[in-house]
Amino acid sequence: MSGIYIHIPFCKQACSYCDFYFKTRQQLLQPFTDALENEILSFQNSSFTRSQISTIYIGGGTPSLLNERQLEQIFSALNKVFRLEPDEVTMELNPDDVTPGYLKMIRNFGVGRASMGVQSFQGEILEFMHRAHNRNEALFALEALQTTGFPTYTADLIYGNPGQTLSMLEQDIRQLLVFDPPHISAYSLTIEPKTRLGKQVQLGRIDPPGDVTVSEHSDLLYDLLEEAGMIQYEVSNYAKPGKEAVHNSNYWNHKNYLGFGPSAHSFWWDDEGTTAKRWQNRADLTGYIENEPKKIQTENEILDLHTLAEERLMLALRTKEGISLEELEQRYDFSFTENQLGYISGQIHKGTISRTKNRLKMTRQGLKISDFLLVDLLSRG
Ligand code: SF4
């Protein structure tokens, strides 16, 4: 069982914090869709088509810029090439593109999970982010999900914004909870150096909030969402029981996936399960449109079991489930060094990691500083 990721590299405008690969020249959307169709068709009769496809994720960029004809092109190419038996088909939507008619149209293609880029309901925060939508459009889009009876969805929020007080964040969370969402992805604002925000921070024009403020934001989120019956099942993801994202969970579980479109990654185990390959399409829209699809792939990276074990450990320790030590040993032939075991014991004592006989996981406190703990743990390998 494998997944498919499709990257739609177009946006109406550049959000100030975003470092994903996208262009704003929407006149290239149709030539891009034609190239995407070719890329998908180029996998016909390849060994990848032996695997059943259990999840599809259309991300970007802004997939909701695609019209019905373009979605038809994409889904019919996928159907021609792959054995599609998906449990989950997700599409990212920006609130300013959403109407009940658009939701019904994507439903007809089998999209059953919407990922709505709300980010905030506050006008000044949305402006600071340079988002294309406003508060009313976010509310309208969430209402449309309800009135059309869309099967399931997730909404994105961003916290830790400069100037965002706890009470502003609380208003955002409570406003979102009015819709009783099955899933919420909540990200702490990251300052990426090459973005407009990154440059403003470098120039000293914007002062990002400190660690204590971000930690308070994260605690507020946790408390309010837990009160609403949502469980933090990964550092940035909360869901009602049974509504966890399958496609993303498969990434963390090292399941195979293929990525289509400029900048998309793919990951595939060899038949023996002793190494895996990772490759990426170049982030080059013009090259993607003009060249043979396979020409835009970068070199394969072959990952050995030890590298895969460390990666799996990093991904799994960011989840509520944590990692099974038996899995690490049997699937990855991995065990911790004495030095690492000493570090883990120290962290158990500090209350950031917990361990049962066969499972290691982060506590709530640990999840808040998981990136730091993981680097520390792996550097002792
Ligand atoms: S809409 Fe999404 S992908 Fe596009 S610029 Fe904004 S954050 Fe980035």
Say yes or no: 225 and 102 in one domain: yes
- Span 117-121, mean pLDDT? 98
Atom of ligand 1 at shortest distance to CA of 61? Answer: 3
Q: Give the tens place of pLDDT for each residue, 301-313.
A: 999 999 999 999 9
Last residue of a domain, one of 203, 228, 250: 250
Q: What is the mean pLDDT of the chain?
A: 96
Residues with CB under 6 A from ligand 1: 11, 14-15, 18, 20, 22, 60-62, 94, 117
How many whole angstroms separate alpha carbon 2 and alpha carbon 202? 41
Residue pair 87/242 in contact (Cβ under 8 Å)? The answer is no
Whether residue 292 is contained in a domain is answered as: no
- Span 274-296, mean pLDDT? 88
Find all residues with CB under 8 Å of 223, minimum gap 6, and list them: none
Q: Give the tens place of pLDDT for each residue, 241-257.
A: 999 999 999 999 999 99
**Distance from the CA of 193 to the center of ligand 1, in angstroms?**
16
Whether residue 308 is contained in a domain is answered as: no
How many whole angstroms separate alpha carbon 353 and alpha carbon 351? 6
Q: Is the pLDDT of residue 147 over 90?
A: yes
Find all residues with CB under 8 Å of 291, minimum gap 6, and list them: none
Burial class (CB in 10 A: 0-12, 13-18, 19+), 116: buried
- Span 173-186, mean pLDDT? 98
76 pLDDT band (50/70/90 cuts)? very high
Say yes or no: 196 and 333 in one domain: no
CA-nearest residue for atom 2, ligand 1, is 61
CATH number at residue 224: 3.20.20.70
**Distance from the CA of 18 to the center of ligand 1, in angstroms?**
6
Residue pair 222/173 in contact (Cβ under 8 Å)? The answer is no
Helix (H, G, I), strand (E, B) or coil at 84: strand
Say yes or no: 44 and 147 in one domain: yes
Question: How many folded domains does the chain comprise?
Answer: 2
How many whole angstroms separate alpha carbon 313 and alpha carbon 324? 9
pLDDT above 90 covers a percentage of the chain that reads 96
| DSSP result, 286-298 | HHHHHS-GGGGB-
**Distance from the CA of 62 to the center of ligand 1, in angstroms?**
7
Whether residue 102 is contained in a domain is answered as: yes
Q: What totals of helices (H) and strands (E) does the chain contain, helices first?
A: 15, 15
Say yes or no: 140 and 221 in one domain: yes
Say yes or no: 354 and 229 in one domain: no
Whether residue 223 is contained in a domain is answered as: yes
Say yes or no: 15 and 143 in one domain: yes
Q: pLDDT at position 350, please?
A: 97
- Span 264-292, mean pLDDT? 93
Q: Is the pLDDT of residue 317 over 70?
A: yes
Q: Is the pLDDT of residue 295 over 70?
A: no
Q: Using CA of residue 366, residue 3, residue 24, residue 133, what is the dihedral sign? A: negative
How many whole angstroms separate alpha carbon 64 and alpha carbon 101? 12
Whether residue 364 is contained in a domain is answered as: yes
- Span 314-329, mean pLDDT? 96
CA-nearest residue for atom 3, ligand 1, is 61
298 pLDDT band (50/70/90 cuts)? confident
Whether residue 284 is contained in a domain is answered as: no
Atom of ligand 1 at shortest distance to CA of 92? Answer: 2
Two tokens, residue 308 = 């895969």
Residue pair 270/276 in contact (Cβ under 8 Å)? The answer is yes
Say yes or no: 236 and 99 in one domain: yes
- 171-178, Cβ contacts within 8 angstroms, sequence gap of 24 or more: 171/121, 171/122, 172/120, 172/121, 172/122, 172/125, 173/220, 173/221, 173/224, 173/225, 174/224, 175/121, 175/139, 176/118, 176/121, 176/142, 177/224, 177/225, 177/228
Residue pair 95/133 in contact (Cβ under 8 Å)? The answer is yes
Whether residue 122 is contained in a domain is answered as: yes
Residues in the chain: 381
Q: pLDDT at position 297, please?
A: 74
Last residue of a domain, one of 185, 217, 250: 250
Q: How much helix, strand and coil, in percent to the nearest 5, is found in the chain?
A: 45, 25, 35
Q: Give per-residue burial for 263-287: e unless 16+ CB within 10 Å, then b.
A: bbbbbbbeeeeeebebbbbebebee
CA-nearest residue for atom 8, ligand 1, is 18
Query: Amino acid identity of 194?
Result: K
Say yes or no: 336 and 245 in one domain: no
Q: pLDDT at position 300, please?
A: 83
Q: pLDDT at position 293, please?
A: 67
- Span 83-110, mean pLDDT? 98
- Span 175-180, mean pLDDT? 98
Whether residue 266 is contained in a domain is answered as: no
**CA dihedral in degrees (168, 169, 170, 172; nearest 10)?**
90
**Distance from the CA of 53 to the center of ligand 1, in angstroms?**
27
Which residue range forms the structural domain that includes residue 328?
323-378
Last residue of a domain, one of 250, 278, 310: 250
Say yes or no: 328 and 239 in one domain: no
How many whole angstroms separate alpha carbon 130 and alpha carbon 316? 33
Q: pLDDT at position 381, please?
A: 83
Query: Amino acid identity of 168?
Result: M
- Beta bridge mates, 57: 5, 90
Say yes or no: 174 and 45 in one domain: yes
308 φ/ψ angles, rounded to the nearest 5 degrees:
-65, -40
Q: pLDDT at position 366, please?
A: 95
Say yes or no: 238 and 112 in one domain: yes
Q: pLDDT at position 294, please?
A: 66
Q: pLDDT at position 357, please?
A: 87
Q: Give the tens place of pLDDT for each residue, 27-45.
A: 999 999 999 999 999 999 9
Q: The whole model's pTM is what?
A: 0.96
Say yes or no: 233 and 332 in one domain: no
**Distance from the CA of 274 to the center of ligand 1, in angstroms?**
37
